[in-house]
Structure 1
Amino acid sequence: MGDKASTHPGAAGRAATADRPASIRNVVLVGHSGSGKTTLVEALALTAGAVNRAGRVEDGTAVSDHDEIEHRQQRSVQLSLVPLQWDGIKINILDTPGYADFVGELRAGLRAADAALFVVSAADGVDGATRMVWEECAAVGMPRAIVVTHLEAARADFTEMTRICADAFGAEDPDAVLPLYLPLHGAQGPDGHAPVTGLVGLLSQRVFDYASGERKESEPDPERLPAIEDARNRLIEGIIAESEDESLMDRYLGGEDIDQKTLVDDLERAVARGTFHPVLAAAPAAEGARHGIGTVELLELITGGFPTPLEREAPPVTTPQGAERATPVCDPEGPLVAEVVKTSSDPYVGRVSLVRVFSGTLRPDATVHVSGHGLADRGHEDHDLDERIGALSAPFGKQQRVLSSCIAGDLACVARLTRAETGDTLSAKDDPLLMQAWSMPDPLLPLAIQAHSKPDEDKLSQGLARLVAEDPTMRLEHNQDTHQVVLWCLGEAHADVALERLRSRYGVQVDVVAHRVAMRETFAGKAAGRGRHVKQSGGHGQYAICEIEVEPLPGGSGIEFVDKVVGGAVPRQFIPSVEKGVRAQAQRGLASGHPIVDVRVTLHDGKAHSVDSSDAAFQTAGALALREAAADAAIHLLEPVAEVRVLVPDEFVGAVMSDLAGRRGRVVGTEQSPGGRTLVRAEVPDIEIGRYAVDLRSLSHGTGRFGRSYVRHEPMPAALAAKLREEEA
């Protein structure tokens, strides 16, 4: 950083390597879908010499070639690692999907990185979801910078975008979000738009001209200097305000000309601390050009201003049993502590794990201990076992370049970790450790599926297990009430990718069916029933008669069985049999086949036979008695009700509350939250919020979040209950 005129010959065909943590930078790219992240990665790879001018690695594939699903859907759907080498520094670029459905991949990238580069399109501006990620990074003190893309778009205005970024990202200090360079424009075209041809460094006051296809440095024309003076002064003041040298501001205000090296050093320290956020510009390389506009400047910022892994504190660790341990230190000679940040399947080598090493050194064919968090509610089994890892490699396009080791602070792909899943910790087998889990959003969009054919049914279980092992934001449910297999996803695009992976990777064809919620039934009033099970054949017969009364109980009471038999009309040994039959029938349901709940069943009379009565006979009689009681009684259909907690910016509160009311919801309260947001709490029937994950995103322009939890079952309105029973008949 600091307006250097570097060419830095690249290393096409060689794996980027690092021999010490200080020579590593881990950077995650963040931005909405279509902001130009993948194009920027390709431009950086070209500038670093990792690809040729056609954007191809040595095997002819593009650096961005990763997944056939991404090619078909024309968007990124997974985290990808692109390692580059620049000026003796290894840069691990983590390109994340910009679509909200794949926020799990974004969080994995944030976990593995030490700094974030926010990519903002000059054509589209800053969306609400990107603002929220910025705030998330700010909360943990992650260093951030901003790069503005799509400057070639009509009406693109870098100065205006810088102001927008300062408003969006500089809530606490707008003067900490400032440009390091200003774009230079060529002659206007027929459409009135002047293309960007270069940059002028505000600190050095040097011009970096890309018009010829090569980066050329020169002195600026004198007439340009007044135009950049105001921006330069603001930048210098912003840097000095973040300086650790408290005397610097007084010297500057006193008229002293602060030398460029001092300013660059202070700038780099402020960026690494996460207190100053420079704005840069980038544009794709022209046909045949070796550099994209701004790519050299961006690589210099990453290598000079972003922190090394030594400057990042690792997440806390415990033993698998929960005992606290010292936080790992980024030392290649220290004890091994690494984490699986992504799991994928390769058709040739099987499961491949992308691993970030926080301490120690990972080597091929070593035996490591795998510890997991046991996300049983999402279909992920707990892990506490030893595994021997396979080869280590660095991905590049469709290639896997073999590595001899992976030191603390670096990332690598690990083969043959057959049991490890995303989020699991790898440590020494004689010193097992478990790293604190990172935050993952709850999947709240249900996708009910069934095997398309018998061969698919045989493969479905294994395919689903492998699918959820790759993606901790997905939850697998085998619903015992509805007997459905349900994949809980983050949105429709997430669901589409899950189905495509089942088909293309695991050879499982499934059909999507309507998702059913777990309904219940109860008696609307008192009723009586008589169960008579009398059969006489040539041999041993069956004889059991019981008489019951049924009355409703308050919600949540379950089934209460009361014995009021007198005089031994039903022998004592058969009373549990009657209860067992009643409960079994209640579980099977009556009017609509949904379980009966919240009733008291009283057994008050019956008859038995000294020879033909049996446990089985009285179970059958108990079930018949409950069915007879229901035949002449009104049965209420009960629907599950959830408490829904919706967090949205204040401007969307009215729309959210109106929408919830339209879903038969009852708002029970609102609370102010930091950052100009409001938490709306409401009780809403489950049947009304099956697609709420999709609808809320549309309603709040991607800025809304919600959670849900079961509250109770309550009677469904009669008209809706009748309609539902007709559909189920």
Structure 2
Amino acid sequence: MGDKSNEHPGAAGRAPTAGRPSSVRNVVLVGHSGSGKTTLVEALALTAGALTRAGRVEDGGTVSDYDEIEHRQQRSVQLSLVPLEWGGCKINLLDTPGYADFVGELRAGLRAADAALFVVSAAQEAEAVPGSTRAMWEECAAVGMPRAIVVTHLETARTGFDELTRVCGGIFGGADPDAVLPLYLPVYGAEGPDGHAPVTGLTGLLTRKIYDYSSGAREVLAPDPGRLPLIDGARDRLIEGIIAESEDETLMERYLDGAEIDERTLVDDLEKAVARGVFHPVLAAAPAADGARQGLGTVELLELITRGFPTPLERRAPEVTTPRGSARPRPSCDPGGPLVAEVVKTASDPYVGRLSLVRVFSGTLRPDETVHVSGHGLTDRGHEDHDVDERIGALSAPFGKRQRILDSCIAGDLACVAKLSHAETGDTLSATDDPLLMRPWTMPDPLLPLAVEAHSTSDEDKLSQGLARLAAEDPTMRLEQNPATRQVVLWCLGEAHMNVALERLRNRYGVQVDVVPHKVSLRETFGEPASGRGRLVKQSGGHGQFAICEIEVEPLPVGSGVEFVDRVVGGAVPRQFIPAVEKGVRAQAARGVAAGHPLVDVRVTLVDGKSHSVDSSDGAFQTAGALALREASGQARIELLEPVATVEVVVPDEYVGPVMSDLSGRRGRVVGTDQAGTGRTVVRAEVPEIEIGRYAIDLRSVSHGTGRFSRSYARHEAMPAQVADRIRESAAAEVMA
């Protein structure tokens, strides 16, 4: 934001360390997939001296070489930390995935950061800022997190910088578009043969100077006098935007009276407004050209981070309690205070084992000390709660695949911790004599089911361990052992999330699995009254088997379960055998009578039977009871009951029609709509669960990535006859196979 020398104060070859919380800046990069976040991180690392040339760390590899899947797919799939040094500050850059399936990684980054850089690509259409980016802006706004906007891909721009800034002001500024304004304007060079003019530098609106990058290093030049009117027009608007957010109420009066506001005052007020999260500057950035050591706008961006973004001292820590739920004061960012830290990411490294990325909120974390690990309350997703003491291993600062050893990690800083075998993402680390638990951040609910089976007998032994390790790394996954369908189901956020899970099982944990169709929990019931007779008469020499029972079956209202009634008179079935008949009936009901699904909502009445003084037994009457129920089912219409979910879909108003039409096509019943803030609507519907197995994917298509939904079980109800017939045919074909 002001003039700095061209010499970068970074240091390659050693791990950046923080001397005090005031010298730390934790910044998360947010943006859609392909917006250029990882490239921007590498450009900043090059300018800060952490890279020897574009994209390369000094010992080989790149800062994005953290996960083998990322390397193959050429996109980020998990949160990664890149620490830099600039201007006497340690900057922790948290690079997050841009794809919606990995929003859990993004929210972990928000938890660990104190400010956010929203990366927007000029290579897209002006109005096409993705809905996921807008949603994350709103989340940051709700907690008052400072934000700035970085425009990338100006070299292939489909949208001009001025137009994109205007669009960002309308989208992100809301009622106050002047809260989103550029600090610098691009300087364009001569047009090439393709008619495109490259961006060669930036014009500082507050300083009225040109920062030229055309030589490969930043040079400060005086502006062309012919550009001054353009500069002054944008500068006046910027000054008005800064003054409008100034804490000095006299500044606006002085400005309106024609007083010249000095540059130092404007810069100070700008930095305060950015740190308070009420003003959001727009900057442009681009990677360094071949042979250059500074990318366009990287120095300006590092200056904004170190001078305009808040320190950890200015952040309010999350609420804490004891593991038993007693409230405790929020921790203060004091390196000498009691230890309170949180695991924001868990990963497995092929060389050092499990690594936990930890944000320290209070105290100082040191290697080889014993800490208390408190669980995070996500047992419904297959994550165990923890309440144990554990000795940690080495502390390190990551850079690509390399880990650089740290002596300690103070309050406000981040580090990787080795050998935390029990701790999972979201767990709290605290002192052993004063265990604490931080309030967990909100995780999205995984709504895409992935049913898997071990490929071979050798894989069966490794499957449970592999799935458990997957769940430990990613709290957005939910592991389910469904007793009704006897399937192992991994619930994911989307198709990309699902594919990454499968690849990690195969390549990281050595487990080969087969993906099988996901089954919903169907049930059966009688559609009309019926009767049945169970007869077991066997004589094979010596002691035989004899049991005859007659039953009547009638349907009951939904939710009634299975009732058994004894109406035998005259001792036709001896009293001691009646419980055996009931046991046989209930066992057969659990197995189903038509398509192998549990029988529910019926009353089974035992009305008559016969016994033998020698050959009758409990086992014989259990079998007869089951046979009687099966015979009754052959004389009645058996209905399949399917689970119905209550679904709530939140979408922008323009997509309400397509969403309602899509739900109707899934046999859904729309039961109402409500407004959900400006320009958004909640659509409530009841939809059979069998129809929404892939709705997490399909909704993105229908709503262009702007919709989200939740679901909850409502009840079981009768399935249409034609759908039930298809289910029965499929079940019969599976048995034949």
Task: Tell me which amino acid in the other structure corresponds to 1:95.
Answer: D
Deviations along 1:592-618, one digit per CA (max 9) or x if unpaired, are 111101111111222233333322222
Task: Tell me which amino acid in the other structure corresponds to 2:659.
Answer: V
| Aligned partner of 2:519 among 516, 520, 539 | 516
Give, in angstroms, the shift of residue 456 of structure 1: 1.1
Where 1:239 maps in the other structure, the secondary structure is helix
Deviations along 1:528-583, one digit per CA (max 9) or x if unpaired, are 11112233343433332221110001111111111222233223232222111111
Q: What corresponds to 1:43 in structure 2? A: 43
CA contact (8 A) 2:112 2:344 kept: yes
1:576-591 matches, within 5 Å, as 576-591=579-594
Q: What corresponds to 1:645 in structure 2? A: 648
Task: Tell me which amino acid in the other structure corresponds to 2:145.
Answer: M
Which stretch of structure 1 is more off in the superposition, 374-383 or 340-349?
A: 374-383
2:264 paired with 1:272:
no
Give, in angstroms, the shift of residue 221 of structure 1: 1.6
Where 2:150 maps in the other structure, the secondary structure is strand
2:169 paired with 1:149:
no
Task: Tell me which amino acid in the other structure corresponds to 2:468.
Answer: A
Give, in angstroms, the shift of residue 55 of structure 1: 3.0
Where 2:170 maps in the other structure, the secondary structure is helix
Deviations along 1:12-56, one digit per CA (max 9) or x if unpaired, are 101011011100000000000000000000000000000112432
Where 2:614 maps in the other structure, the secondary structure is coil
Whole-angstrom CA distance in 1 between matches of 2:6 and 2:42:
19
Q: What corresponds to 1:449 in structure 2? A: 452
Whole-angstrom CA distance in 2 between matches of 1:632 and 1:487:
40
Whole-angstrom CA distance in 2 between matches of 1:260 and 1:243:
14
Task: Tell me which amino acid in the other structure corresponds to 1:41.
Answer: V
1:478-493 matches, within 5 Å, as 478-493=481-496
Which stretch of structure 1 is more off in the superposition, 293-302 or 150-159?
A: 150-159
Aligned residues: 729
Q: What corresponds to 1:97 in structure 2? A: 97
Whole-angstrom CA distance in 2 between matches of 1:633 and 1:354:
61
1:178-577 matches, within 5 Å, as 178-577=181-580
Q: What corresponds to 1:25 in structure 2? A: 25
CA contact (8 A) 2:6 2:219 kept: no
Q: What corresponds to 2:61 in structure 1? A: 61
Where 1:307 maps in the other structure, the secondary structure is coil
2:660 paired with 1:657:
yes
Give, in angstroms, the shift of residue 218 of structure 1: 1.6
Deviations along 1:407-453, one digit per CA (max 9) or x if unpaired, are 11110001111111111111111111111011111111111111111
Give, in angstroms, the shift of residue 3 of structure 1: 4.4
Q: What corresponds to 1:113 in structure 2? A: 113
Whole-angstrom CA distance in 1 between matches of 2:563 and 2:167:
63
Which stretch of structure 1 is more off in the superposition, 102-111 or 282-291?
A: 282-291
Q: What corresponds to 2:607 in structure 1? A: 604
Give, in angstroms, the shift of residue 58 of structure 1: 2.3
Whole-angstrom CA distance in 2 between matches of 1:286 and 1:220:
23
Whole-angstrom CA distance in 2 between matches of 1:332 and 1:543:
81
2:713 paired with 1:710:
yes
Where 2:57 maps in the other structure, the secondary structure is coil
Give, in angstroms, the shift of residue 229 of structure 1: 1.1
Whole-angstrom CA distance in 2 between matches of 1:224 and 1:606:
104
The percent identity for this pair of structures is: 79
Which stretch of structure 1 is more off in the superposition, 535-544 or 98-107?
A: 535-544
CA contact (8 A) 2:452 2:513 kept: yes
Give, in angstroms, the shift of residue 62 of structure 1: 1.3
Whole-angstrom CA distance in 1 between matches of 2:319 and 2:722:
55
Q: What corresponds to 2:620 in structure 1? A: 617
Give, in angstroms, the shift of residue 678 of structure 1: 0.5
| Aligned partner of 1:671 among 674, 682, 692 | 674
CA contact (8 A) 2:9 2:85 kept: no
Give, in angstroms, the shift of residue 154 of structure 1: 4.3
Which stretch of structure 1 is more off in the superposition, 389-398 or 613-622?
A: 613-622
Task: Tell me which amino acid in the other structure corresponds to 2:271.
Answer: E
Q: What corresponds to 1:164 in structure 2? A: 167
Whole-angstrom CA distance in 1 between matches of 2:375 and 2:494:
26
Give the TM-score taking structure 1 as reference length: 0.99
Where 2:154 maps in the other structure, the secondary structure is coil
CA contact (8 A) 2:22 2:311 kept: yes
Whole-angstrom CA distance in 2 between matches of 1:571 and 1:307:
82
Whole-angstrom CA distance in 1 between matches of 2:544 and 2:436:
64
CA contact (8 A) 2:18 2:89 kept: yes
Task: Tell me which amino acid in the other structure corresponds to 1:374.
Answer: G
Task: Tell me which amino acid in the other structure corresponds to 1:651.
Answer: E
Task: Tell me which amino acid in the other structure corresponds to 1:98.
Answer: G
Where 1:178 maps in the other structure, the secondary structure is strand
Where 1:71 maps in the other structure, the secondary structure is helix
Task: Tell me which amino acid in the other structure corresponds to 2:39.
Answer: T
CA contact (8 A) 1:3 1:206 kept: no
CA contact (8 A) 1:150 1:156 kept: no
CA contact (8 A) 1:550 1:599 kept: yes
Q: What 5-or-longer segments of structure 1 have no aligned partner?
A: none
CA contact (8 A) 1:363 1:406 kept: yes
Whole-angstrom CA distance in 2 between matches of 1:184 and 1:31:
25
Whole-angstrom CA distance in 1 between matches of 2:333 and 2:165:
36
Where 1:322 maps in the other structure, the secondary structure is coil
Task: Tell me which amino acid in the other structure corresponds to 2:604.
Answer: V
Whole-angstrom CA distance in 2 between matches of 1:373 and 1:535:
59
Deviations along 1:176-223, one digit per CA (max 9) or x if unpaired, are 100000010000111221100000110011111111111001221211
Deviations along 1:76-102, one digit per CA (max 9) or x if unpaired, are 101000000001100000000000111
Deviations along 1:448-475, one digit per CA (max 9) or x if unpaired, are 1111111111111111110111001111
Whole-angstrom CA distance in 1 between matches of 2:303 and 2:7:
11
Where 2:327 maps in the other structure, the secondary structure is coil
Question: CA 1:155 to 1:592, structure 2 compared with 1: closer, same or farther past 3 Å?
Answer: closer
Task: Tell me which amino acid in the other structure corresponds to 1:92.
Answer: N
Task: Tell me which amino acid in the other structure corresponds to 1:604.
Answer: V
RMSD of the alignment, in Å? 1.1
Q: What corresponds to 2:703 in structure 1? A: 700
